[in-house]
């Protein structure tokens, strides 16, 4: 058998997955402080100012099958009341109760959204940062 063509794949194709995962991690790294800043501002503006919720903010990077996830959430038990409300008033928001939680039949308190608002405010800033990182990446990627 004779060889008519010999193909030498470019070096970038051997480690492309790793390069893309590094890019993803860089984007997540840029997004994390943006999300944290907006979450803190939203808590100060829309929730109690005692500081317990702010001090309880917990960050983590987690690997899930095929993806990396950044999570930011308060660990103070009362913080969930702000986002979801309680009782009939919380149920009236139409939002499903968080996992392990159910709305009671007492009047309860209305939701005082802070987290969802923070995410919406941060979204365009995160997208802009991700686009800038992607542009730099695309500009510097070469196949030799």
- pLDDT of 83 reads 86
The predicted structure's pLDDT at residue 27: 93
Rounded distance between C-alpha atoms, residue 74 and residue 54, angstroms: 7
Measured CA to CA, the distance from residue 56 to residue 137 in angstroms comes to 36
Query: Residues 119, 113: contact at Cβ < 8 Å?
Result: no
Per-residue model confidence (pLDDT) at position 2: 62
pLDDT in tens, the chain (144 residues): 567 777 777 776 778 788 888 889 999 999 999 999 999 999 999 988 788 999 999 999 988 887 888 999 999 888 888 888 889 998 888 888 887 888 889 999 888 889 999 999 999 999 999 999 999 888 877 655
DSSP, residue by residue, the chain: ---S------HHHHSHHHHHHHHHHHHHHHHHHHHHHHHHHHHHHHS-TTSHHHHTEEEEEEEETTEEEEEEEE--TTHHHHHH--HHHHHTT-PPPPTT----SS--------HHHHHHHHHHHHHHHHHHHHHHHHHH----
pLDDT score of 138: 85
Q: What single-letter DSSP state applies at residue 49?
A: T
What does the pLDDT read at residue 119?
95
pTM: 0.77
């Amino acid at each position: 058998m004779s060889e008519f063509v010999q193909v030498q794949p470019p070096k970038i194709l051997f480690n492309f997955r790793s390069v893309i995962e590094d890019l993803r991690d860089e984007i997540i790294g840029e997004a994390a402080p943006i999300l944290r800043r907006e979450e803190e501002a939203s808590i100060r503006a829309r929730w109690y100012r005692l500081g317990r919720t702010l001090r309880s903010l917990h960050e983590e990077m987690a690997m899930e099958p095929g993806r990396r996830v950044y999570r930011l959430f308060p660990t103070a038990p009362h913080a969930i009341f702000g986002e979801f409300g309680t009782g009939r008033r919380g149920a009236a928001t139409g939002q499903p109760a968080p996992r392990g939680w159910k709305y009671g039949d007492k009047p309860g308190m209305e939701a005082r959204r802070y987290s969802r608002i923070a995410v919406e405010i941060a979204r365009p800033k995160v997208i802009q940062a991700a686009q800038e990182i992607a542009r730099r990446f695309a500009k510097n990627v070469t196949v030799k």
